[in-house]
Amino acid sequence: MKPKILLHICCGPCAGKITELLQADFDITGYFYNPNIEPADEYLRRLQTAITLVNHYGIKLIKGIYNNKTWHSAIMGLEFLPEGDRRCWRCFRTRLVETAQRAKKEGISNFATTLTTSPYKNARVINKLGNVIATKYGINFIETSVKPENRNNPSIARQLKLYHQKFCGCNYSQFK
Ligand code: SF4
């Protein structure tokens, strides 16, 4: 029997390749926890892409709560920093901590994230954060890195006709 892993899914298009890679070694449960996505209808649209994707791969999806106000509290004071700066590190941390806590609650001893897939995000920062959080919560963080040429090739997102967003998620990334 394969070990279980809780995979934090930021959106459907980012999740395809990582799901395929991890499925070889793990029994995946997806976790959609992204209170950074604004406005709420954009959040629901991305949630739907995640549902379409996990249904395609036959994996379960846990829907996290949309505590957008709590997320704003977490990044307070960093709102107007450029994308990729410390606001994003705090945003990654918020979602990874919640994923680690949820994994513990579900009795799952491994977690990972699809955030590393994005060409606009620093996978080294995300993997470093994941490892620090894993140590704190006494579980394993599985580092992922998807090579650029494999991100969309073959493009499961295209095949499933997934909505592909034009901005990262928060209002600060939309109106930069
Ligand atoms: S730009 Fe993206 S990663 Fe950065 S704070 Fe906004 S939603 Fe989070």
- For the chain, 176 residues long, give each residue's pLDDT as a single digit of tens: 999 999 999 999 989 989 999 999 999 999 999 999 999 999 999 999 999 999 999 999 999 999 999 999 999 999 999 999 999 999 999 999 999 999 999 999 999 999 998 888 999 999 999 999 999 999 999 998 776 655 554 578 889 999 999 999 999 998 76
* Ligand 1 binding residues, C-beta < 6 A: 36, 83, 87-88, 91, 168-170, 172-173
Give, using CA atoms, the residue closest to atom 4 of ligand 1. Answer: 88
* 86 Cβ neighbours under 8 A, 6+ residues apart: 78
State in Å: Cα 173 to ligand 1 middle: 6
Rg (CA), the chain: 15
Q: Distance between CA atoms of 127 and 10, rounded to whole angstroms?
A: 15
The two beta strands, 110-113 and 140-141, are parallel
Indicate whether this model's pTM tops 0.85. Answer: yes
Q: How many CB atoms lie within 10 A of CB 93?
A: 18
Q: Contact, 65 vs 75, CB < 8 A?
A: no
- Give CA–CA dist 127/133, Å, rounded: 10
Nearest protein CA to atom 6 of ligand 1, as residue: 170
What is the Å distance from ligand 1's center to 159 Cα? 27
Residue 75 CA to ligand 1 centre (angstroms): 10
Given the candidates 3.40.50.1370, 3.40.50.620, 3.30.1360.10, 1.10.510.10, the CATH classification of the domain at 4-174 is 3.40.50.620
3-class DSSP state of 73: helix
